[in-house]
Amino acid sequence: MSGHAELITEASKIHDAQMKRLGKYMGELYANQYRWMKKIPKSTIEKIWGVNTQGCEPDGGTFWFDGLPQVSFEAKWQGKKGQAGYALEHEKLSTLSTINPNLDHIMFCSGEGCISKNVNGKTKKDMGVFTCFAHNLKVQYDNRNLLNTHVHQSPNGFTDEEMLDIMKKHLDAKLGLSEDIVTPSPIPARGKLDV
């Protein structure tokens, strides 16, 4: 986490820790299909940029096959006063899309400020911070074929079982083990997981 340290709450720390724990667990569970890595290796970043200019460590790690990261998982928390990390998230997305523009980046967004209380809202406040963020990601990355972003939102957080189910669906879909689980998104984009 980075940014405004005063906005990092105990709830956001718990959400991040849950994602880290479940990412590692799924890495072990899918060890025969994917190579799980906690972060993008420095050598990969150096190969692309010529020098190690930055790190890239999605909360749930990255899942690799064919020599590239294919799926990554991230946790974001949005309280009433905000959350630290948008700039860092864009840095991660930029790094990931440079390495593999076909990577699926899945974000679990939670907290009181993440979802709209007015589904027909027209402003950022009405729509909810992550609804706006998800829309912007689709425009900036998906619509330009730079990444496949998927945003799952729950103001009260996710149970381990809910997160594991969503993670499994994404990992299986990337391997071609599931059919008909990716449906068009109401946000103009290439696709959104229907869970």
| CA atoms within 13 A of residue 117's CA, in its CB half-sphere | 5
Answer left, alpha or beta for residue 66, where phi above 0 means left and psi between -120 and 50 means alpha. Answer: left
| CA dist., res. 19 & res. 141, Å (int) | 23
Query: Is 60 exceeded by the pLDDT of residue 119?
Result: no
Q: What pLDDT sits at residue 184?
A: 35
Q: What pLDDT sits at residue 150?
A: 86
**Per residue in 182-194, pLDDT tens?**
443 333 333 333 4
State the SS3 of the chain: CCCCHHHCCHHHHHHHHHHHHHHHHHHHHCCCCCEEECCCCHHHHHHHHCCCCCCCCCCCCEEEECCEEEEEEEEEECECCECCCHHHHHHHHHHHHHHCCCCEEEEEEECCCCCCCCCCCCCHHHHCHHHHHHHHHHHHCHHHCCCEEEEEEECCCCCHHHHHHHHHHHHHHHHCCCCCCEECCCCCCCCEECC
| CA dist., res. 29 & res. 165, Å (int) | 13
Query: Is 70 exceeded by the pLDDT of residue 118?
Result: no
Degrees to nearest 5, angle at CA 137 with 134 and 138: 90
Domain range list for the chain? 5-193
Question: Cβ(70)–Cβ(112) under 8 Å?
Answer: no
Q: What pLDDT sits at residue 190?
A: 34
Which residues are paired to 63 by β-bridges? 36, 71
If one compares 133 and 162, the residue with the highest pLDDT of the two is 162
Q: pTM here?
A: 0.81
